[in-house]
């Protein structure tokens, strides 16, 4: 007895008669659609072509624009309107040099402050061996003389150890 899975695979592997017929037909060059190419589809009359079509209007407008351009265009020796406009509203070379030098100094100050912050280190901490000894005695009601003179004491740094 065969399992259901094998039966299903066998039926899927066999081509059906419908798919074999469709695979055998070629729809490229057939006479099946000849009846649709009759002349009765073109029942609307052709529009008469004259000088009133939009294309002629565009041509006239383009011609007027070209004539106006050549009439009002500057002579070869003159500066164009756009060039004069750009020159009027832009800075000259000395102004740009002044702006760039100012920007350079401001950038230098900004980088120096950033470098100062980046190279910052916490203050050196002096570590005492027995720090509780400093707070052991009370500064009040002390006799004259029992206190030690600490003016010559030098704190050791990390390099001294």
pLDDT digits (tens, 9 = 90+) for 124-155: 887 888 877 777 766 676 777 767 777 888 88
Q: For residue 116, what pLDDT band results from cuts at 50, 70 and 90? A: very high
Task: Tell me the CB-side half-sphere exposure of residue 115, using CA atoms within 13 A.
Answer: 6
Q: For residue 15, what pLDDT band results from cuts at 50, 70 and 90? A: low
pLDDT at position 59 is 94
Residue of 160, 99, 158, 97 whose CA lies nearest to 125: 158
pLDDT at position 128 is 81
- The alpha-carbon radius of gyration of the chain (Å, integer) is 50
Mean pLDDT of 4-16: 60
SS3 assignment, position 144: coil
pLDDT at position 112 is 95
Is the CB of residue 102 less than 8 Å from the CB of residue 135?
Answer: no
* pLDDT over threshold 60, residue 45: yes
| Residues 6 or more apart whose Cβ sits within 8 Å of residue 126 | 155, 156, 157
């Amino acid at each position: 007895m065969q399992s259901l899975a094998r039966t299903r695979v066998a039926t899927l592997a066999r081509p059906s008669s419908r798919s074999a017929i469709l695979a055998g037909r070629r729809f490229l060059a057939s006479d099946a659609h000849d009846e649709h190419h009759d002349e009765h589809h073109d029942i609307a009359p052709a529009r008469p072509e004259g000088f009133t079509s939009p294309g002629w209007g565009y041509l006239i407008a383009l011609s007027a624009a070209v004539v106006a351009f050549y009439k009002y265009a500057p002579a070869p020796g003159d500066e164009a309107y756009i060039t004069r406009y750009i020159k009027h509203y832009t800075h000259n070379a000395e102004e740009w040099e002044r702006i760039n030098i100012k920007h350079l100094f401001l950038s230098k100050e900004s980088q120096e402050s950033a470098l100062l912050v980046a190279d910052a280190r916490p203050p050196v901490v002096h570590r005492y061996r027995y720090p509780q000894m400093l707070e052991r005695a009370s500064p009040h009601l002390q006799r004259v003389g029992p206190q030690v003179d600490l003016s010559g004491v030098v704190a050791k740094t990390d390099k001294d150890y």
